[in-house]
Amino acid sequence: MQVRRRWPVDAAAGLLFALAAALLTHRLWPGPAGRALALNPSDQALDEWFLAYATRAYRGDFSLVTGMLNAPEGVNLLSNASLIGMGLLLAPVTLAFGAPVTFSVLVAGNLAATGTGWYLLFARTLGVHRAGALIGGAFAAFAPGMVSQSNAHLHMTAAWLVPPIVWCVVRLAHQTAAGPRTVRTGLLLGALVAAQFFVGEEVLFLTAVTLALFTVVFVAHARPSPRVAAPFVLGLGLAAGLAAVLLAYPLWLQFHGPQSADGGVFLPSYFSADLYGFTAISPLSLAGDDGAARLVSGPAEYTTFFGAPLLLVVLGATVWMWRRPAVVASAVTAVVLFLLALGPFVVVDAEATAQRGPFSLLSGLPVIESALPTRFALAAIPLLAVILARVVDAAITQTETLRLLVPVAVVAALVPLAPAPLPVVDRAPVPAFFTDGFWRVYAPEDGVVVPVPLPDPRDPDAMRWAAATGARIATPQGWFIGPYGKDGAAAVGVYPRPTSQLLQRVARSGAAATVTDKDRQTLHKDIAYWRAAAFVLDVRHPQAGALRQTMDGLLGPGERVEDVWVWRAP
């Protein structure tokens, strides 16, 4: 196909991916500020706060450790999946339309951009037939694991820099002599690695593991000429050197800086794949099985639900093309990743066994200890996409009898996995007190406004109030990862202050507290600790009456301002 004729076809493919992503997320679009992803609204509230915080960079605040959340101690953004790169990239959208709109754009945009990237890599770099490239790109973007992670795990679906990273590696592998092209490609690879660090560090980690495994298997199978080793190693060395320079300080800050935390928060045994899950159909697919949900930790972790038909097609394709090193390397690497996804102990049909998995050999290693085993299966998705793209290409271009049968078989295996639109729920609007700027009368810029009750990992929705101001006010507590476990280990959230505990009890029970002088004295200590300017209660809170009565007892009668009650801190 001539170059001038490629662009309309490629543009059409990109448009198709965008349309599919829009359909998948269409329930968010009628009112992003008043809707949330039903399966993970808490992480969405956190993501929206991160996106709003990124706009502070446009005002000159580039802090990677900030006291705007968990005031006054703050949070280390690099110890959290803080969407730094995406937040900076789409900050103009956030400033113009708000963080909920940016969040919705990213849910759809990550999938569309990832699919387009893989399609172009398959079609342009690997020379795969456009039909195979389209199928491979669609699977890489809309596989059940990617759709599942779209439930507010934007750092996991932001994989659109991975195809360019792979392109650089392929480009280095095809050079037989070191030269300026090697240098340029190596430096570009280093820059892309650094960029992916800020877009999604976990995706970068999984990509590195996958490429390392793939390279070992490919070399063992293909035994390429030693002439390619020198430019390949030189290019990778340049990439590693540049990435090390660019990321030295961020990595130090992440692991040793203020508010950094040791170890992982989540138990690998809890976030492990069930052996049965590989043959199950995701509940988020059109042909989904709701009963399969019991096999995983939650609806954002349907990472292994590939379905038996697809696995059989992949197996058949691998056997048919076993002489092709790239196909064999993809298949073997995928199997290794599947085994790692099983976690430290193999689980079968939701029942733990005494059989250790390969992941148990890695437990306790730096970085690995923070990894969630089930997500290794996400890294296998592009590998399966390679096999699907290659087998369709081989059938169409090299055979007469299979040119129709193989593509039909591949599509038939994929149809049950086609995603249904993501479910959403209505959520309470952010009070006009924040969206319309009334807060400025009661708190200075960057001042601390205390929501009543305070946000925590179980209910972080009040973090949206600060997000609606462009993170111009600070919030105590919240949903984040910090050094609040035993001996400074990583933990989710912070232990609440006494006043926060009091307000939480009222919110849970619906009964106003009998306020004592001791409670008032404790409140003043907490106000001094938080450096609070004001306390705010949404009049629509289900327990607004009891909470207002309690706050009146603590600070005296509050002020009704628009749709909130406000108490100035003394």
Long-range contacts of 329-334 (CB under 8 A, 24+ apart): 329/214, 329/215, 329/217, 329/218, 329/221, 330/214, 330/383, 330/384, 330/386, 330/387, 331/383, 331/387, 332/213, 332/217, 333/210, 333/213, 333/214, 333/217, 333/380, 333/383, 334/380, 334/383, 334/384
Contact 141, 117 (CB under 8 A): no
The whole-angstrom separation of Cα 379 and Cα 375 is 7
| pLDDT tens-place string over residues 278-291 | 999 999 999 988 88
The whole-angstrom separation of Cα 189 and Cα 80 is 25
The whole-angstrom separation of Cα 145 and Cα 114 is 13
pLDDT of residue 268: 81
Contact 464, 51 (CB under 8 A): no
Dihedral angle sign, alpha carbons of residues 46, 47, 52, 58 = positive
Write the single-letter amino acid at 141: A
pLDDT of residue 227: 80
| pLDDT tens-place string over residues 11-51 | 999 999 999 999 999 999 999 999 999 999 999 999 999 99
Peptide bond into 30 cis (omega under 30): no
The whole-angstrom separation of Cα 18 and Cα 141 is 11
Closest CA to 379 of 225, 213, 265: 213
pLDDT of residue 222: 85
Give the contacts of 514 (CB within 8 A, at least 6 positions apart).
Answer: 553
Phi, psi of 388 (to 5 degrees): -65, -45
pLDDT of residue 4: 57
Give the contacts of 446 (CB within 8 A, at least 6 positions apart).
Answer: 68, 472, 473, 474
pLDDT of residue 292: 87
Both tokens of 451, joined, read: 């929501």
Tally of CB atoms within 10 A around 442: 21
Half-sphere exposure of 335 (CA within 13 A, CB side): 9
pLDDT of residue 365: 73
Detail the DSSP E strand segments found in 481-561: 481-482, 491-492, 532-538, 559-561
pLDDT of residue 115: 98
Both tokens of 22, joined, read: 């829009």
| pLDDT tens-place string over residues 422-464 | 999 999 999 999 999 999 999 999 999 999 999 999 999 999 9
> β-strand 448-451 against 532-538: which pairing, if any?
parallel
The whole-angstrom separation of Cα 471 and Cα 139 is 37
Write the single-letter amino acid at 79: S
Give the contacts of 341 (CB within 8 A, at least 6 positions apart).
Answer: 272, 273, 303, 304, 359, 373, 374, 375, 376, 377, 380
Which residues in the chain show pLDDT less than 50? Answer: 1
The whole-angstrom separation of Cα 264 and Cα 258 is 17
Label residue 479 exposed, middle or buried (CB < 10 Å: 0-12, 13-18, 19+). Answer: buried
The whole-angstrom separation of Cα 85 and Cα 75 is 17
User: Which residue matches tokens 């909130």?
Assistant: 564
pLDDT of residue 165: 98
pLDDT of residue 468: 97
Q: Measured between alpha carbons, how far is residue 296 from residues 145, 148, 155, 274, 304 in Å?
A: 12, 11, 20, 7, 9
Tally of CB atoms within 10 A around 95: 14
The total number of residues written for the chain in this structure: 570
Write the single-letter amino acid at 264: G
Q: Give the SS3 label for residue 482.
A: strand
What DSSP element (H or E) covers 530?
helix 517-530
Give the contacts of 353 (CB within 8 A, at least 6 positions apart).
Answer: 345, 346, 347
pLDDT of residue 116: 98
Label residue 411 exposed, middle or buried (CB < 10 Å: 0-12, 13-18, 19+). Answer: middle
